[in-house]
A and B are shown apart, each in its own frame.
Chain A
Amino acid sequence: MDIFCHVVDNFGDIGVVYRFAKEFSAAFPVCRVRVFCDDLRPLSLMVPELPRFNPTGKIDGVTFVNTQALDEGLVRTLGSSDVVIEAFGCDIPEVYKKVALPGAAVWINLEHLSAEPWVQGYHLRPSLQTVTIPKKYFFMPGFSENTGGVIIDSRIEREKPGLRQNRLLHLNGFFANFGISVNENDLGIVGTVFTYQRGFDNLLSDLGTIGKDVYLFVLGDKSRLGMSETLNRAGARQVSDSHFAHGGIHVLMMPFIPQKDFDRLLCLTDFNMVRGEDSLVRAILAEKPFIWNAYLQDNKYHRVKVEALMDILSDYFEDHNIFSQYRELMMEFNDRVDESSQQTTCEDYRAFLGNMNKLEQGIRQISYFMTRKCNLVTKLSDFLAGI
């Protein structure tokens, strides 16, 4: 299997491709899995074990190839694969198209995840192309059995029970970055903040009303920037370089952490704020209440995507009042046209913070369903087996 990836921005594209390639390779060890990518720097941050590649390197059973090094000689040396996947509609390099693609049995466009109902009508549909060999299909990840599902990360699934059992121990591993050690009685509420750039004034204000100590791990440059400016406005106290305090709220500016640690952290908290599609899936599978910051699109189209997600989630929540407040929060949180560190939305977190146990029950339900019925790797392999 050859997977092509073009890094557009941030870490989402290659992060998803790595996760998918790793999972496919683990599920089918006899299968040769290669990732062709034009920029592996983001991945080297997410996966520090990634070896230097010149022009190829291998980790987790996956061979990585620098697309920029591709020429006809290298493509001929590498040869064709049975399955060619273009991730997120990226263009496959012409030299590969000319030399290796005709040798493939099937060509798949692995698309972005969406909760919108129309993706079911696109999933596994053939795509007429000017290049007619091999036949091309669209594979649409989603949240129902009629879609391609989501990538279930087997590593974190194996680790989940241990993380839950020894939560404090593992959390203290993350707190150690800040010279903090917390005991069970002082733990209070723990959350993550990994969003696009925005203001967090309402979040800090509402967290301040719950009467417990709060620990917020802030991840990613955009979140840190938005949070720093919010903390300045709030007059927060700086405890250390990366530790700020505002009343009982401890804001911990996290350094970049590897993908596997990010997955673990989401499972250890009380709630998570995540951005983009892959982190959304990780938040759901972490089975904790979450708020999703959708990637901003023209004319606020991202709100359509958020609304569709909430429609999917609604099936898993029994208390309609609580879910209605949750939906309102999610929609208001995403009511933005651009990124800035100002508080431009009017979201109210109080119902979310007050109903986390019930929200967690609903998230667990959808996580259970996705894990058992919507494993993307299983669905793709079933499709390939039928060709």
Chain B
Amino acid sequence: MVIVREAQDLRAGNTVKVGSDLFLVQKFSYNKGARNASMVKMKLKNLATGNSAETVCKANDKFEDVVLEHRKMTYLYGNDGYYTFMDQENFEQMDLTKEDLGDALNYLREQMILDVVLHAGRAVGVEVPINVTAEIIYTEPAVKGDTSGKVLKAAKIDTGFELQVPLYCAIGQKIIIDTRTGEFVQRA
């Protein structure tokens, strides 16, 4: 059965089929256009050629979804541009590059367990959960009394990734992030 998904429902780590080619989503961003119409920008890797390229499309453009083999693996360490993961069942280790990881790199922490995507027996990417928890390691001091969440400030999380958080957030707080958009969801 062919599963069709709208572009806005895709995220890093998903695979789509166009023609006879398989493309792995490495990066994904979503932007609202005018009149509540939206667009997405993705970095896609052609799994046959290994080439990556950016593409943009309407949020409701449809793609044939392909589910590749996923394995639960633990992220061990990064070294010299390679990121090593270990299979939780057979302890086999596999390396991914920065490009393979795409947006997942923003949330990657040692000992984190992730779904590694395999194609032809080789690791080609990872799929991070839609929501991840992270700790704020730097932001300007919290503003007491502002609980509206409408006014935002910059914050850096423990993986080094920077995002916008509400004014009431403070250093040391754990927050939940939507990995599809890289946006703050709520305090953990």
Contact = CB atoms under 8 A, between A and B. Distances in A.
Indicate, yes or no, whether A interacts with B: yes
Interface of A: 8, 88-89, 109, 111-114, 116, 118, 121-122, 125-130, 132, 138, 277, 295, 297-298, 301, 304-305
Interface SS majority for chain A? loop
Nearest to B53: A126
Contacts of B70: none
B48 interface: no
A111 B39 CA distance: 10
A117 to B, nearest CB: 10
Contact of A113 (B34, B58, B63): B34
B154 interface: no
A114 B33 contact: yes
Contact of A89 (B29, B44, B58): B58
A298 B31 contact: no
A305 B44 CA distance: 28
Given A118-B31, A128-B23, A128-B57, A138 B36 contact: no
Contacts of B29: 118
A111 B33 contact: yes
B35 A295 contact: yes
Interface residues of B, number: 24
B53 A129 contact: no
Given A128-B23, A132-B18, A122 B56 contact: yes
B41 interface: yes
Given A126-B55, A127-B55, A297 B18 contact: no
A128 B41 contact: no
Nearest to B59: A89
B181 to A, nearest CB: 12
Interface string B59-72: 00111100000000
Instruction: Tell me if B's interface is mostly helix, strand, loop or mixed.
Output: strand
Contact of B18 (A122, A130, A295, A298): A130
Interface string B22-51: 010000010111111101010010000000
Given A125-B56, A301-B32, A132 B19 contact: yes
Nearest to B16: A128
A116 B55 CA distance: 19
Contacts of B19: 130, 132
B43 to A, nearest CB: 11
Contacts of B18: 128-130, 132
Given A126-B53, A127-B55, A128-B57, A112 B34 contact: yes
B41 A109 contact: no
B58 A109 contact: yes
B159 to A, nearest CB: 23
Nearest to B42: A128
Contact of A297 (B23, B32, B44): B32
Given A111-B33, A132-B18, A121 B41 contact: yes
Given A297-B34, A297-B35, A304-B32, 9 more contacts: A89-B37, A112-B35, A113-B34, A122-B56, A128-B44, A129-B57, A138-B39, A297-B32, A301-B36
10 contacts: A8-B35, A89-B37, A112-B34, A112-B35, A122-B56, A126-B53, A126-B56, A128-B18, A132-B19, A305-B34
A125 B58 contact: no
Contacts of A277: 34
Contacts of A138: 39, 56
Nearest to B40: A122
Contact of B63 (A130, A295, A298): A130
Contacts of B6: none
Contacts of A114: 33-34
A127 B36 contact: no
A125 B54 contact: yes
**Which of B19, B53, B56 has the most A CB atoms < 10 Å from its CB?**
B56
Contacts of A297: 32, 34-36
Given A122-B39, A129-B61, A295 B56 contact: no
